[in-house]
Amino acid sequence: MIARFRLLLVSLSAVLILRPTGAFAPYSAKAKSITTGLHNDRVGIVGAGAIALGTAAFLNNNAMLWSPSGRPLSAEFFVTGALQESSFTCRIASSARELVEENEIIFLALPANGHKQVFDSIAPYLQENRHHVIISSHSSLGGLYLFSLCQDKYNKRIPITAWGTTLVTARRMDTQTVRVNTIRQAVDCCTIPASYDATGIHCTLFPNIHFERRPGLLAISLSNLNPQNHLGIALGNMSRMDKNEVWYQSQNITPRIGKLLEDLDQERLNIAEALGLDVKTIFEHFSWSFHVPMTGSIADMNQAIHEAGNDVYGPNTADTRYVTEDVPFGLPLIILLGEMVNRPAVLHRAGVDIMSSMYGRNFWAENDLLAALKLEQYTLEELQKAGQSGVLPSFKVASV
C-alpha cells in the first residue's frame, strides 16, 4: 500500500511538472508568489518589447525593466492571452548599472542585434558570487563572448545560462499591454561554466516549465529553431510583408513552405549528429511550443495550430526581426559549424544570400558578436570545450 501511494505521488508530481501552460490552459499570474534563498532572486530584464513584457508578466511583479534604447516606460502594464488577464507592475531602471546593482538575475529579452552592446554595458557591474545571467534566446555564442569578456577584461567569472528559445511568444498591443500567445512547455538550456547549475533558479522563477539541459553552447545554438523557421516563413510570405497585409502565420505555412522548413531542419539535425549532439526536431518544437500533436507534416501541424485558435499574426512589414535579426545572428553560426563537420548547410547559406539580395544589404557582415569572437581562429575541439567551460584559448576582446 505504501509503495502504491508513493507511486501515485510520483505520477502526480510528473503531471504537475509537465502540465502544458499555453493558450489551452490560462496561467494565473496572480496565483504565484516568488521567493528564493539566493539574494531574493530579484530579476532585472534587459528589453522592453513583447518578449520582455511577457516574461515580466509571468514573473508577476518580480521584475525590473531596462530599455537600452531609452524608450520611456510606464511602471504598470496589462497582460492578456495565455496568462490570466490582469495588471502587473515593474520596477524601472534608468541605466545598465542600476539594473545590475538592483538585481541578482539579469535576464536578456531583446533582439540579438543588441546583445553585444548590452554585454559591454553590464559587464563592468556584474559581481562574482552574486549575479547570474540568463540569455533568452541565445544567439551567435553570445554567452561565450560575455563570459570571456568578464573573465579576461574584468577578472571575474559570472555564470551564464543560455536558453534555446524564449519563455513565451507574445505581441505588444500598445505601450502598456502585451498579449501572451503561448507559454512554452519546454526550453532547452545550458549553463557555463558547466560546474554551475541553474536548476534552482529555473524551478523557483519559472514553475511548471520543463528545462531540458543540453551539453554546452553548441548544443543550444543547434537547438534554436526560430531563425531557420523564420527564414522559411519570411521567404514564402515576403509579398504579404511588403504589402503590409494582416495574415495568420500558421495558416500560411502551406505544404511547400512546410517542406522547406523540414529540409532546413534536416540540415541542422545533420550537423548536430556529426557533433554527437542530441537536439529536438522541428516536429517536437512545434508540438511543445504550440501544444499540438506531432504528425509527419509541419504544414499539417500548423493547420492544427490555426484550427485550435492558437495562431499568431505573421509580420506585416519587411522590417521584421524574422529577417533583420534572425538572418545575420541566427544562421551564420549554423553554416560555420556545418563547414567544420563537413555537413554543408546549403539552404541556410542560400537563405542568407537571397535575403541579402532582397534587402540590398550584406547580412553576412552585420553580426558583431561573431566578428568579436573571431571563431575562424579556433578548432572545432576548442569551440566544443569552450561551449562548456566558457573559456576560449587566448581570447582577446575585439572592439567592433
What's the confidence (pLDDT) of residue 36?
36
pLDDT interval class at 136 (50, 70, 90): very high
Within the chain, which residue ranges are assigned CATH 1.10.1040.10? 226-366
Record the cell numbers describing residue 245, joined without a space: 497585409
pLDDT value at 33 more than 70: no
Cβ burial, residue 113 (10 Å; 0-12/13-18/19+)? middle
Residue 81 has pLDDT above 60, yes or no: yes
Q: Note the pLDDT of residue 71.
A: 86
3-state secondary structure of 191: strand
pLDDT tier, 397 (very low <50, low <70, confident <90, very high otherwise): low
pLDDT tens digits for range 166-220? 999 999 999 999 999 999 989 999 999 999 989 999 999 999 999 999 999 999 9
Query: Which band of pLDDT confidence, cut at 50, 70 and 90, is reported for residue 34?
Result: very low
Give the homologous superfamily in CATH for domain 19-221. NAD(P)-binding Rossmann-like Domain (3.40.50.720)
Checking if the pLDDT of 17 tops 60, the result is: no
Q: Give the C-alpha separation, 121 to 126, whole Å.
A: 10
Average pLDDT for the chain: 89
Instruction: Compute, in degrees rounded to 10, the torsion defined by CA atoms 314, 231, 321, 48.
Output: 80
Q: What are phi and psi of 70, to 5 degrees?
A: 85, 15
Calculate ∠ Cα 243-249-252, nearest 5°. 85
| Mean pLDDT of all residues in 303-319 | 95
The yes-or-no verdict on residue 89 having pLDDT over 60 is yes
pLDDT in tens, 325-342: 999 999 999 999 999 999
pTM for the predicted model, two decimal places:
0.87
346-359 vs 226-236: helix crossing angle, rounded to 10: 50
What number of other Cβ atoms are within 10 A of residue 196's Cβ?
A: 15
What dihedral do alpha carbons 145, 334, 68, 211 form, nearest 10°? Answer: -90
Cβ atoms < 10 Å from Cβ of 202: 20
End-to-end, the C-alpha distance of the chain in Å comes to: 66
pLDDT of residue 202: 96
Among candidate residues 62, 109, 67, 49, the one with its CA nearest the CA of residue 90: 62
Query: Which of the four CATH numbers 1.10.3720.10, 1.10.1040.10, 3.90.245.10, 3.30.70.260 does domain 226-366 have?
Result: 1.10.1040.10
DSSP 85: S
The confidence score (pLDDT) of residue 15 equals 33
Cell digits for 298?
A: 509541419
Domain with CATH 3.40.50.720 in the chain: 19-221
Proportion of the chain above pLDDT 70, given as a percent: 88
Average pLDDT rounded to a whole number, residues 6-28: 34
The pLDDT of 152-162, averaged and rounded, is: 97
pLDDT over threshold 90, residue 29: no
What mean pLDDT is predicted for residues 363-367? 98
pLDDT digits (tens, 9 = 90+) for 251-296: 999 999 999 999 999 999 999 999 999 999 999 999 988 889 999 9
* Cα dihedral value 287, 288, 291, 293, nearest 10: 30
